[in-house]
A = this chain, B = another copy of it.
Amino acid sequence: MNIREEARKMKLVAPVLAASSNETRNAALRAIADALKANKEKIFAANAEDCRAAGENGIAPAVMKRLAFNEAKLTDVCKGIDQLISLPDPIGKSLLKRELDAGLVLERVSVPIGVIGVIFEARPDALVQISTLCLKSGNCAILKGGKETAGTNRVLFSIIHDAAVSAGLPSECLLQAELHNEIDELLQCEKDVDLLIPRGSNQFVQYIMNNTKIPVMGHADGICHIYVDRDVDMDMAINIIIDAKTQYTAACNAVETILINREIAPVFLPLLARSLKAAGVKLRGTQEAEDLIARSSDAAAQIDAVDIMDDDDFRTEYLDMIISLKVVADVEEAIDHINRYGSHHTDSILTRDDAAAARFMQMVDSAGVYRNCSTRFADGFRYGFGAEVGISTSKLHARGPVGLEGLVTYKYLITGSGQIVGDYASGRSSFHFKDL
């Protein structure tokens, strides 16, 4: 398959998909959910084969869980499709309507982005979520999934594609790329692909960002922080930190660094260290953090790190059962540390102090800034978006979890009756700007 040629065809078909009605797109989603259920044995069989091969290749158990596509995952993705069907049409919305002058009306309407390339990890349920999000928002999509589930992906894609076409969507609206070298071809399609969404490791996302002229949405790093302020409920703080670190260690919204207010550090830090160690988390930290924990004479709470951290070490995303600890003077130092060493993903302050919380939420320059809850809430489903194609740390276009709204743009329409700019430049005519 020649990805560039296919992308070219897709680009020219994109306006056709964009012009399809919400009814047609919903009918396609309904057909997809029905076809997935009707063909579940075929999907499960392909997935069993993928999982068997992965097992033989020594894939870690934590990763194996992600490869699986079983009855529970099928129920989840079908529930997701039902949610998408129930959501209002994201395209064709009038976002602005303004009479510029008599008989000259400007309108801004939401439209799909066009052609989106999504490169994602070996998670078959992601293929279903991403393709249905794209179709609901009227976008054509080129999908490249992780190779460990290539067999499952192939079966899923063919079911999804055929169901969409049977419901009346153009055949070119979805394309599956299967070979690794097709990724590099895809990166060259800047004339025809409007957006790339890479998901995966930091190095992989960096590679994509550095090797394409296509706009990229997503995030390379998720260096999330929790700042424990002076006036805090310590039990709540420990509960939240354990959740944010251990509930799903490999997620981008898992916490990596805990900043602790100096006033409470002598009491709080040993308590925290003991709880983290009990949960199986290895500790790293500054000299001051190590000293405070050591001084507590609690053998269960010692720092493991031989190397004491310096500031640049705080740029590390562990995605593992390791955490960084640092003592700070106050909320200002916490804000400064986060804006300097963080990745602008999601950061949380734990405090009873409204003024400190307000200051933190105003000044921390991240896609998500929380008070008194876990950083793990950064997720499209948990925000009530139905699903997400990824989380963006970019400040342009969509920021944070990206659902339907992040997959549309707009265009400006003007309906006139012969107006020329010369008349406005000469003063013969003038604008009156009346919002309708």
Given A362-B15, A413-B361, do A384 and B418 touch, yes or no (CB 8 Å)?
no
- The interface bits of chain A over 86-106 (1 if a CB of B lies within 8 angstroms of the residue's CB, else 0) are 000000000000101000101
A146 shortest CB reach to chain B, Å = 23
Cβ of A377: which chain B residues have Cβ within 8 Å of it? 100, 104, 414, 416, 419, 421
Contact: B420 with A365, CB < 8 Å? no
Taking a contact as CB atoms closer than 8 A, the residue among B12, B399, B413 that contacts A336 in the complex is: B12
Distance, CA A113 to CA B396, complexed state (A): 8
Given A19-B362, A113-B395, A113-B396, do A418 and B373 touch, yes or no (CB 8 Å)?
yes
Which chain A residues have a beta carbon within 8 Å of chain B's beta carbons? 11-12, 14-16, 18-19, 98, 100, 104, 106, 113-114, 194-195, 209-210, 213, 215, 217, 233, 236, 239-240, 242-244, 247-248, 335-336, 339-340, 357, 361-374, 376-378, 382-384, 394-397, 399-400, 409-422, 424-425, 431, 433
Cβ of A374: which chain B residues have Cβ within 8 Å of it? 419-421
Cβ of A422: which chain B residues have Cβ within 8 Å of it? 243, 247
Contact: A366 with B414, CB < 8 Å? no
Contact: A239 with B420, CB < 8 Å? yes
Contact: B19 with A395, CB < 8 Å? no
A279 shortest CB reach to chain B, Å = 11
A38 shortest CB reach to chain B, Å = 29
Contact: B12 with A411, CB < 8 Å? no
Q: In this complex, which of A370, A409, A421 has the most chain B Cβ atoms within 10 angstroms of its Cβ?
A: A421
Contact: B366 with A411, CB < 8 Å? yes
Cβ of A194: which chain B residues have Cβ within 8 Å of it? 395-396
Cβ of A233: which chain B residues have Cβ within 8 Å of it? 418
Cβ of A383: which chain B residues have Cβ within 8 Å of it? 98, 100, 106, 412
Contact: B384 with A339, CB < 8 Å? no
Instruction: Contacts A14-B365, A244-B421, A395-B409 known; list 11 others, CB within 8 Å.
Output: A12-B336, A12-B339, A16-B363, A98-B383, A194-B395, A209-B213, A239-B420, A247-B422, A376-B421, A377-B414, A382-B424
Taking a contact as CB atoms closer than 8 A, the residue among B11, B100, B397, B416 that contacts A372 in the complex is: B416
Given A239-B420, A419-B374, A421-B243, do A363 and B15 touch, yes or no (CB 8 Å)?
yes
A209 shortest CB reach to chain B, Å = 7
